Amino acid sequence: MGRQFKSGLAVAGALLLVSACGGGEGPGKDGSLGNTPAQGSKGAANVKKAPLAQKDAVSVMFCTDMPDAEGRTVYGVTVRSYAVKNGALLAERSSVLPSRFTPTSGCKGDGPGLAAHYAFSKDLTMLAGLSQSSRAAAVDTSTGLEIAPPDPDAFGKDLESKAAVFHPVTGQLWYNSDPDHYGVKLPRYFRNPKDGTASQQMVPYAQLASQMAKDKETAATVLGSDRDDSPISPSGVVAQSSNTEGLGLFRVDTGGEGLLKEVKSSALRVPGSRAGDTVTGQFCDPAFWRDDTTLVCRHDSIEQLTFSADYQQVTKKQNLLPESDRVAGVPIPSPDGKSFVFLSKTDGNQRVLYRSDFATPGAQPVKIAELEQPLDGAADHRVSLIRWS
């Protein structure tokens, strides 16, 4: 995560953040960061007006933090879309988010966090997160302003949540409740983000598994609303991992008391040296399923595991990148499932966007673009892939 600005700088000054990015005008009253294309944008003069979700474009989120005048953290977010074909910058939106608003993913923590895909609306115009530390909300990616905020003069009690995500098909904002009640089987809520809490509906815990069984998009949304970014196969197999137990497979449990039921797999659970002990057969962080039996994951590099139809064997294991000292980030797939993109860093700490094809595992990846840091005054940014449109 990027460093904070010097403590003596209040947001009003620190958001010169944008004098370089906004043609020297500084942030607008709506929180946007100006209208000038980023340096090196290959002549894309209208990137501030072009849609972010364009065909054959990869969208990337940049996030940095700074203290406001009262010392509270405020996030600056830039979203850029690059052409896969030639790396041209196609579209860009930059804004300063409201004080005490934290995006669902991409701004905190050391790991990849929740897939940024579910933190954004389908057209990338809205970003989900928590306002006032616990209220599910969405902000406009162009202005940074909260969408349909509650009436500040009204009496009422906010529903406390710990995550908010967008359903990738319906566009509804999903979130959980009462995050401090560990182990309690709690409901989920969803609403039209543009209508605010007036459109809020509840799904009781007992009905969540049935909702998840409808399709993988709903299943991923329900899990994401509880800060679980596990990828789900077309038939509903969930891949999860932990540092101690390794990779595990699960199915939606419509007939049980929980949401997921483990798929007992001899490929993943191998008998240990003592009675009752087990050791894990596979360690990797699952990224996405290509189909019902092919899982792409990240360990030291990016690899592909192919399971038998009953998941009792790993029939093939392939490294998708050549041997290298370079670290590859979490990959995301192309819409047609034939390729994937990922981020990596050079020795000079330059972030680079690459593409690789599944038809040629182990081949040298193709460089798409070097990702320049937003010119907002921060020394570094956390960078996350969103999606390949």
CA distance 52 to 310: 40
Q: Which residue has the higher pLDDT, 133 or 2?
A: 133
CA distance 231 to 118: 12
Confidence of residue 24 (pLDDT cuts 50, 70, 90): very low
| Structural element, H or E, at residue 212 | helix 205-212
Q: Which residue has the higher pLDDT, 376 or 10?
A: 376
Residue 91 and residue 80 in contact, taking contact as beta carbons nearer than 8 Å: yes
Which residue is listed with tokens 């815990």?
205
Whether residue 296 has pLDDT greater than 50: yes
Please choose, from the candidates 233, 235, 210, the residue with its C-alpha nearest in 3D space to the C-alpha of residue 222. Answer: 210
What does the pLDDT look like over 134-145, one tens digit per residue?
999 999 999 999
Other CB atoms within a 10 A radius of the CB of residue 332 amount to 22
CA distance 17 to 40: 18
| Structural element, H or E, at residue 118 | helix 116-119
Residue 60 and residue 93 in contact, taking contact as beta carbons nearer than 8 Å: no
Largest CA distance in the chain: 69
Structure confidence at residue 310 (pLDDT): 95
CA distance 170 to 173: 9
| Structural element, H or E, at residue 13 | helix 11-14
| Measured CA angle at 285 (ends 388, 362), to 5 deg | 65
Give the percent of the chain with pLDDT over 90: 58
Give the bridge partners for 131, in sequence order: 101, 135
CA distance 292 to 270: 22
Model confidence, pTM? 0.85
Structure confidence at residue 272 (pLDDT): 47
| Structural element, H or E, at residue 247 | strand 246-252
Whether residue 34 has pLDDT greater than 70: no
Whether residue 269 has pLDDT greater than 50: yes
